[in-house]
Structure 1
């Protein structure tokens, strides 16, 4: 099942959602700000994306700048920060079975459909 980790307030996330709607495929919308992801779910997404945890962080967010920037953090600490502050998670993330992409640019989503 295709899933989109979606923030309705984000224009890129809305574009990703529109792309999925246009494909006429079934998918699930996960509003991760309303229902924060578990540590396990974040780890699974990072694994599917094949990235390091720091690559999932929105580094321009005030939460990151005020609390974490210029600190030496372990991967576990970064994942804990993502879980505590879901706003820090890059978006949109689209998963399809064991594949995943961050939909920036939106066209990347097509590579896993």
Structure 2
């Protein structure tokens, strides 16, 4: 099973989804598309994603979004950032592709290939 946290309005996310679907078809794997703006991950799910991404919480956050400034998150700790992303899923970096116990922020979208074919 491959999971992709996807925003259909984002061109990079659409490109990554296309790559994921092609690889899944080739390997006979199912794809779970999570439209995270409609079904936001909770804090626990975000922490699990962070662990699979092997990154800092700040690396998962879109700091260029208006909500980031409005919520004054520039100096926020990890717990506050996770709560903010759970409450405002637009802040989540996208797309995130999960395969097994690993994940990647697929920016550029070709990074999904490295995870799935590597």
TM-score, length basis structure 2 = 0.90
Report the CA distance between 1:73 and its aligned residue.
1.3
CA shift digits 1:81-113 (9 cap, x unpaired):
110100000000000010100000111101111
Q: How many residue pairs get matched?
A: 112
Q: Distance in 2 between matches of 1:95 and 1:87?
A: 19
Aligned residue number for residue 104 of structure 1: 107
* SS of equivalent residue, structure 2 residue 76: coil
Secondary structure class of the residue paired with 1:44:
helix
> For 1:81 and 1:53, how far apart are their aligned partners in 2?
11
Distance 1:79 1:87 in 2: 12
Q: Is the Cα–Cα contact under 8 Å of residues 5 and 94 in structure 2 kept in the other structure? A: yes
Partner of 2:9: 9
How far 1:69 sits from its partner (Å)? Answer: 4.4
Aligned to 1:74: 77
The correspondence for 2:89, drawn from 72, 86, 104, is: 86
Which secondary structure does the structure 2 equivalent of 1:37 belong to?
coil
Q: Give the SS at the match of 2:110.
A: helix
- Supply the distance in 1 between the matched residues of 2:73 and 2:84 (Cα, whole angstroms): 12
Give unpaired runs (5+ residues) of structure 2: none
Tell me, which stretches of 5 or more residues in structure 1 are unaligned? none
